[in-house]
Amino acid sequence: MRPARVVEELKDAYRVRGETCEFLAELAGRLRFAAASGEGLPAVGDWVVIAPREREGRATIQSVLPRRSKVSRKAAGRAAAEQVIAANLDTIFVVSSLNRDFNIRRVERYLAMVWESVASPVVLLTKADLCEDAAQRAAEMQSVAMGVPVHVLSAVSGEGLDALAKYLCVGRTVALMGSSGVGKSTLINLLLGREELPTKPVREDDDRGRHATSTRRLVILPSGGMLIDTPGMRELQLWDAQSGLERAFEDIAAIASECRFRDCSHHAEPGCAVRQSIEVGELDAERLENLRKLERELDFLARKQDAGLQSAEEKKWKKVHQEQKRNYRLRAKYGRQ
């Protein structure tokens, strides 16, 4: 048995890196069946225990070691299931472009997810060469990032790249997250000093990105730091992110503590400090509405999880009762014989 780190998640296998080489690895049968959900399966960045088969260049993953951090979202589809995007991260770069795809509300959602992960968030604003008011947009982003570092970058001119070195020192792991087309793969290629990851231009009609990355992948930089590239996510639903939400919107919580009523909903109650802050221009009404939207999303997810747990419990007891009836029938039959 040896330790290794998951560096790429493929369709039915993983690439893991040991001390001296990489292996194509599959899950041990007991690990696959023991995982009740995607949360129990390996993710890129995980440390795992493998049984290597040197001559074949393959290995079997026997277990996943405890994580010190993870970033998750709700898996696509109707089921209330967790999808772990990456694990054992020190920093997460939330990447947003400064072209027409610039969206503060989307970054607020990402920050809530990142704060929940335990890793430290950093906002990267790319494509500064395509934006005439990059400094103004960076100031707008800083006003909602609540102390999170915000860096303006340009892959064309190299602006801002030197500022990233402090996050990418030896032994540190950083993941890049953001929509398609914001320049994550391009940034990694620049930091690597070679064209290793595929890139695609954005659509000319609306500046929307195209998927260039199809799998999550960890690469090692010349500096000794490690970067995890993730596919662009057009749909990002939060998972168990209540504390992350509180951290991302702590300014609203601070204002709400001055409301006359402790359970103020910030709609029409008298003495509402939040509504007053909006009226005088200290708080953006869209930021409050985005918080409400994310809270509703988490409430709906919690209710769905409760319903799922209730359904699972009912199925368990139904199976128990069926087994009891079966035993009664066998005893009756055995007694007659």
Instruction: Catalogue all structural domains in the chain, each as residue range(s) with its CATH number.
Output: 2-64 (2.40.50.140), 70-229 (3.40.50.300), 249-283 (1.10.40.50)
Give the pLDDT band of residue 172 (cuts 50, 70, 90): very high
Q: Whole-angstrom Cα distance, residue 191 to residue 197?
A: 11
- Which of 254-258, 293-297, 303-307, 320-324 has the weakest average pLDDT? 303-307
pLDDT the model gives residue 324: 77
Buried/exposed 162-189: b ≥16 CB within 10 Å, e otherwise: eebeebbeeebbbbbbbbbbbbbbbbbb
Q: Which long-range contacts (CB under 8 A, 24 or more apart) does 183-188 make?
A: 183/95, 183/97, 183/126, 183/127, 183/153, 183/155, 184/95, 184/213, 184/229, 184/230, 184/232, 185/212, 185/213, 185/229, 186/126, 186/155, 187/95, 187/124, 187/126, 187/153, 187/155, 188/219, 188/227, 188/229
Mean pLDDT of the chain: 86
Q: Whole-angstrom Cα distance, residue 315 to residue 228?
A: 40
**pLDDT tens digits, residue range 254-276?**
999 999 998 899 988 999 999 99
Q: Whole-angstrom Cα distance, residue 200 to residue 218?
A: 20
| Percentage with pLDDT > 70 across the chain | 85
Q: In the chain, what's the furthest Cα-to-Cα distance?
A: 91
Give strand pairing partners of 122: 93
Greater confidence (324 vs 35) lies with 324
**pLDDT tens digits, residue range 119-146?**
999 999 999 999 989 999 999 999 999 8
Give the pLDDT band of residue 334 (cuts 50, 70, 90): low
pLDDT the model gives residue 209: 46
Flag whether pLDDT at 245 surpasses 70: yes
Crossing angle between the packed helical segments 104-117 and 134-145, to the nearest 10 degrees: 40
The whole model's pTM is what?
0.81
- Which of 29-33, 161-165, 314-318 has the weakest average pLDDT? 314-318
- Which of 2-11, 55-64, 273-282, 314-323 has the weakest average pLDDT? 314-323
